[in-house]
Amino acid sequence: MFTASDLSNFFGSETSYFNPMFRGINYTEGVKFISDNGAAWLVTDMLAVIKLQPQVKNQDFLCITIKRNNSRMVVVTYTDGDDKILSTQQYKMSDFPVDEVKFFYTNSMLMLASEY
């Protein structure tokens, strides 16, 4: 698992990664860190939405927010960057370790907001 302060160590990225199931979408070191430290299922779901969901897949820019509430429900919101909600996913039970993480997706790259 990881903490919010662990994520503050990621800014810029020199290496990119990809999931073979979602070729054409790359992700940064910060996203890989989240995936490697207990949230691979959530990163995989985000990649699937980016690649496959009609209202999301053709966007040039996405802002993706993972937010955990007190009941341990996690909500993932995909917006166009101007607060227009394109898609929302809810997970009723989660062990996601931080309250909120923001991602950006552009030029086929998923990254932590701090890596933009």
Q: What is the pLDDT of residue 70?
A: 77
Region of 16 on the Ramachandran plot (φ > 0 left; ψ -120 to 50 alpha; else beta): beta
> pTM of the predicted model, to two decimals?
0.94
**Residue 85 pLDDT > 90:** yes
CATH of domain 4-115: 3.10.450
**Given the DSSP bridges, would you call strands 26-27 and 109-112 parallel, antiparallel or unpaired?**
parallel
Q: Where are the domains of the chain?
A: 4-115
Beta strand ranges found along 1-116 (DSSP E): 17-18, 26-27, 61-68, 74-79, 85-91, 100-106, 109-112
- Report pLDDT digits (tens) over 26-78: 999 999 999 999 899 999 999 999 999 999 999 999 999 999 987 789 999 99
pLDDT of 95 over the 90 cut: no
